[in-house]
Amino acid sequence: MGSVQIVTTILAAAITAVAVWLAVRAVLKMVAVIRLGQPAPERFGDKAARTRTMLVETAGHTRMLKWGVVGAAHWFVMVGFVVLSLLVLEAYFEVVTPTGGLPVIGHWTIFGLVTEIITVLGLVGIVVLMVIRLRNRPTRPGGRSRFTGSTMWQGYFVEWIVLLVLIFGLVIRGFKVATDHFEYPLWATPVSHAVGAVLPDWSDGASVAALIKIAISMTWLIVISLNVTMGVAWHRFLAFPNIFFKREPAKPAGSGLGALRPMTSQGKPLDFEEADPEKDQFGVAHVEQFSWKGLLDFSTCTECGRCQSQCPAWNTGKPLSPKLLVLSLRDHAYAKAPYLLAGGGKDLTGEEKATQAQLAHLDVLSLAEGDKPLIGDAESGGVIDPDVLWSCTTCGACVEQCPVDIEHVDHIVDMRRYQVLIESSFPSEAGVMLRNLENKGNPWGAPQNTREDWTKGLDFEVPRVGEVDDFEYLFWVGCAGAFEDRAKKTTRAVATLLNEAGVTFAILGEGETCSGDPARRIGNEFVFQMLAQQNVETLNEAFEGREKAKRKIVATCPHCFNTLGNEYGQLGGEFEVVHHTQLLAHLVATGKLTPVQPVDGGVTYHDPCYLGRHNRVFAAPREVLGDAIAGDLTEMPRNSERSFCCGAGGARMWMEEKIGKRINVDRVEEAMATGAKTVAVGCPFCSTMLNDGVNGKGAGEQVEVIDVASVLLRSVKPEQPQGGRETAPIGG
C-alpha cells in the first residue's frame, strides 16, 4: 500500500464511520417517530400478496411508467442505485489498492458489462430527471407546477449526487484503463475505455477517484441523516415498506380507494353501541392518533407533486394540495416527536399526560409544536387549515397517482371524523344535509312516501321486493334517483331498458334509505353506521336464503354502488353490486338490447370518480356509448384514471364552493372544448354539477348533459318520448 493509498483509506474509513453513525441514529429516530402511531394489525395479513405487490410495483414501476419518459428515467436511476451500490462497495477496495475490485464478481466480464450499461442508462435517466425538474421549477415563467411547495434544494442535491457518483464510477474505470489495469474487454465497457483514453497514466488515479466517489456518497448519507424529513432521498428505502403495508395489497391499482377504513381506536374497529369519546379515539385530533402506517406514509412522500398536479381542489385555486397536506403532517410529526417521546401528549379528555419533570429538558420549539392544534386557521397556529380539510372531494386522484401508495383520502376523512363527531365543526351549510339524513333518511329531506314517484307514468309495473320473489336484480334507486328530477329520468331510463331486455328486477321503494355515503365522507361515521345498518338489515331480509352470487344489486349512483359493494361488507352485508352501465353493457353485448338508431352530434364521456378511479369501471360506459352513438366517442384530455372530478364528492355537493374557480366549471370547459354536443355521465351528482356548469356558461341550448342510460335508451327506443329538453341536441 503506497502513501496515497494510506491517506485515501484513512479518509474513506473516517467519513464512512461518521456517515454510518449518523445514519443509524437517523433510522432509530425515524422508527421511534413511526412507532408513535396507533396500531394497525390488519397491515400484517397476507404477506405473500404484499411481497408480490411490492416487488411488482417497485421493479415494474407500475405507477411511474404511466408518466412515460419520467417513469422510464426514474426506473433507470432506481436500478442504477441498487446495482451501482456494488460499485460504491468496490470503491472501498480501490482506495486500498488502485487495481482492487470486488472479490469474485469483480472479475466477471458480465459484471463489467451490466454495470457499464446501467451506468450509461443511469446517466441518461438522471439528466432527464434534472431537466424535467428544472423545466417544472415553481419559479419558472408560467407559475405553479407540481413542484410548487416541494423543497427544491433537496431534489437538486439528490440529483447532483447521483450524477457525480455515476461520473466518478467511470473516472475510476478510466484510470484503470489508462494504467493498463482494467480487466474488462473493450466490447463490454466501451465508455470506460473512451474515458480512459483521455485520462493520464496516473497510477494512484483510481484510488483518489474512488475516495472522491466515497466522499460524495457519504456526504449524501450524512445530509439525509441530518434531515430525516428529506423524503426525496429517504423514499429509496421507505417506499418498500410503505408499499408492502398498503391497505389492500391484492388490489395494486386502487388500494386506498373505494371503501373507507372503518373508524378504529387502538387498532380495533369502533363499535358505536359501546364507544365512549372519553375512552375511545374518535377520528384523529392529534398527529400521533394516525396509525403508524399513516406516519410511515408521511415520512415516505417524495415531494414529487404528482398528486398535486391532478387534484381538482389545487387546480381550481383552493388551498388544498394533497402533497402540501402530507408535508405539513410530516413536518409536524417530526417536530412534535421530542415532546411525545418525552411522554407528552393529550389524553382523550384533553389533559396533558406528562409531568413537569418529564418535559423540563425540552426546548421551547418542541413544546410549542406539542400545543399546536391539528386543525386550525393561521391565527390559532393550526397545522392544517379548515379550508384545506374541507376542500377535498375525496376524488382519489392523489391516491391514484402516488408512486409510493400514500393513502391521502383515509387521512383526510380521519381528521374530518374528529372535527364532525367531537368538535361539531364543519361547513355549516352541510348541517342541513346531515339533519335530513338523520330525520328523513335522504339528504334532500324529501318525504319518504315519495320515493316511488319516479315510477308514475311508466307503461310497465315496477315490482317491490316482497311482491315478487324471483327477481334477478334488486334495483337500488338511490336518493338522487328517487327525488332529484334529472336523476329520475335516468332511473326511468334504466328501468325501461331492464324491462325491455327482460331482466327481472324489484325495488325496495319506501324501504330504501340513503346509503350513507355523504355522511361517511364528511366524517359523520355515526350517521353512516345508523343508515348502513338499517340498509344492510333490509337487504339481508330481501335476499334471505340466497347465496352471495345471487344477491345481485344494480345501482345507478356510483356512490351507492361503492358503499353497498365495498363498505357494507364491514357491517355484514355481502352483495354482488353492479353499476347500471355494467349491466347495460352486458345486455347489449348479449343481444338483449339492440341499439337501432345511433345518437349523433358528438358525444364525450365524463368518468365519475366513484365509478372510475375508486372502482376501476372505465370500459363499460364506453362500451355502451360505443354501441349507441354515431362515430367515435370524443375523449376529454383528462379521462379514465386521470379524469377530473365534477366537484360533488366527499359531501362537497352539500357545501358551498367559496374559494377559487368552481370545479364543475373547469370540467365543463374541458368537455365543451371537445366540441361534443352531448356530455354523457354515469352519476347523478356529476349530472347535477355538470348541468349547473353548462347552464352557468349559458350553453344549455348547445350542450346537453345526460346519463349513459338515457343515451342508450334513445338509440334502443328512438320512438320513446324522452321528455323536455333532453331530446333537442341529439338523436337525429
**689 binds ligand SF4 per the rule CB under 6 A:** no
> Closest CB to ligand SF4 among 298 and 505?
298
How many residues are there in the chain? 732
Beta strand spans in 383-487 (E): 473-476
408 sits near ligand SF4 (criterion: CB under 6 A): yes
Residue from 73, 233, 238, 304 touching ligand SF4 (CB under 6 A): that is: 304
User: Please, which of residues 424-443 interact with ligand SF4 by CB under 6 A?
Assistant: none
Q: How many CB atoms lie within 10 A of CB 48?
A: 9
Closer residue to ligand SF4, CB minimum distance, 170 or 404: 404
CB 168 within 8 A of CB 216: yes
Q: Choose among 207, 240, 211, 212: nearest CA to 81.
A: 240
Determine if residue 633 is left, alpha or beta; phi over 0 gives left, psi from -120 to 50 gives alpha, anything else beta.
beta
419 near ligand SF4, rule: CB under 6 A: no
Burial class (CB in 10 A: 0-12, 13-18, 19+), 349: exposed
Residues 597-656 within binding reach of ligand SF4 (CB under 6 A): none
Of 188 and 402, which CB lies nearer to ligand SF4 in the complex structure? 402
CB of 396 to ligand SF4, least distance (A): 5
- Cα 384 from chain centroid (whole Å): 19
Q: Is 259 helix (H, G, I), strand (E, B) or coil?
A: coil
158: contact with ligand SF4 by CB under 6 A: no
Phi, psi of 177, rounded to the nearest 5 degrees = -65, -50
The CB-of-377 to ligand SF4 minimum distance in angstroms stands at 19
Residue whose C-alpha is closest to residue 112's, from 102, 122, 121: 102
In whole angstroms, the minimum distance from the beta carbon of 617 to ligand SF4 comes to 18
**Which residue's CB is nearer to ligand SF4, number 391 or number 436?**
391
Q: Report if residue 329 touches ligand SF4, rule: CB under 6 A.
A: no
Residue 326 is a binding residue for ligand SF4 (CB under 6 A): yes
SS3 call for 504: coil
In terms of CB distance, is 192 or 664 closer to ligand SF4? 664
* CA angle 478–483–489, rounded 5-degree value: 85
**Taking the complex as a whole, how short is the minimal distance between the CB of residue 306 and ligand SF4, in angstroms?**
4
| Residue 439, helix vs strand vs coil | helix
Residues 28-87 binding ligand SF4 (CB under 6 A) are none
Contact in structure between 612 and 634 (CB atoms under 8 Å):
no
Dihedral of CA atoms 612, 613, 616, 619 in degrees, nearest 10, equals: 40
CB of 77 to ligand SF4, least distance (A): 16
* In the complex, least distance from residue 301 CB atom to ligand SF4, rounded to whole angstroms: 3
Pick the closer one to ligand SF4 by CB: 112 or 647.
647
Which residues between 383 and 402 bind ligand SF4 (CB under 6 A)? 392-398, 401-402
Helix/strand/coil for 517: helix
Please report how close the Cβ of residue 645 comes to ligand SF4 at its closest, in angstroms: 6
Residue 63: CB minimum distance to ligand SF4, A: 9
Helix (H) or strand (E) holding 711: helix 708-716
**Taking CB under 6 A as the rule, which mask of x and - marks residues 257-296 in contact with ligand SF4?**
----------------------------------------
Q: Which is nearer to ligand SF4, 312 or 345 (CB)?
A: 312
Among the listed ranges 301-309, 437-445, 467-475, 692-700, the one in contact with ligand SF4 (CB under 6 A) is 301-309
**Partner residues linked to 578 by β-bridges:** 554
**Stretch of 184-192, 312-320, 523-531, 672-680 lying at the interface with ligand SF4 (CB under 6 A):** 312-320
Instruction: State yes or no: residue 307 binds ligand SF4 (CB under 6 A).
Output: yes
Give dist(CA 373, CA 414) in Å, integer. 15
Residues 6+ away with beta carbon under 8 Å from 699: 668, 672
Among 61, 323, 492, 520, binds ligand SF4 (CB under 6 A): 323
Stretch in the footprint of ligand SF4 (CB under 6 A) among 84-92, 308-316, 332-340, 481-489: 308-316
H helix runs in 183-301, sequence order = 190-198, 205-226, 231-244, 292-300
Is 421 near ligand SF4 (CB under 6 A)? no
How many angstroms separate the CA atoms of 438 and 453, rounded? 22
| By CB under 6 A, residue 694 contacts ligand SF4 | no
Q: Does 312 bind ligand SF4 (CB under 6 A)?
A: yes
Closest contact distance (angstroms) between CB of 383 and ligand SF4 is: 16
Q: Which is nearer to ligand SF4, 301 or 493 (CB)?
A: 301
**Nearer CB in complex with ligand SF4: 163/304:** 304
Instruction: Using CB under 6 A, count the residues that bind ligand SF4.
Output: 29
Q: How far is CA 537 from CA 275, 529, 552, 560, in A?
A: 21, 12, 15, 16
Phi-psi region for residue 680, left (φ > 0), alpha (ψ -120 to 50) or beta? Answer: beta
Gap between the Cα atoms of 563 and 600, Å rounded: 34
CB of 245 to ligand SF4, least distance (A): 15
How far is residue 256's CA from residue 245's CA, in Å, rounded to a whole number?
A: 11
Measured from the CB atom, is 208 or 398 closer to ligand SF4?
A: 398
Residue indicated by cell numbers 319518504: 448
Q: Looking at 196, 249, 294, 322, which residue binds ligand SF4 (CB under 6 A)? A: 322
How would you class 331 by CB atoms within 10 Å of its CB: exposed for 0-12, middle for 13-18, buried for 19 or more?
A: middle
* Given 288, 303, 369, 385, the residue binding ligand SF4 (CB under 6 A): 303
Contact status: 686 vs ligand SF4 (CB under 6 A): no
How far CA 156 is from CA of 24, 71, 150, in Å, comes to 24, 18, 11
* Site of interaction with ligand SF4 (CB under 6 A): 301-307, 310-313, 320, 322-323, 326, 392-398, 401-404, 406, 408-409
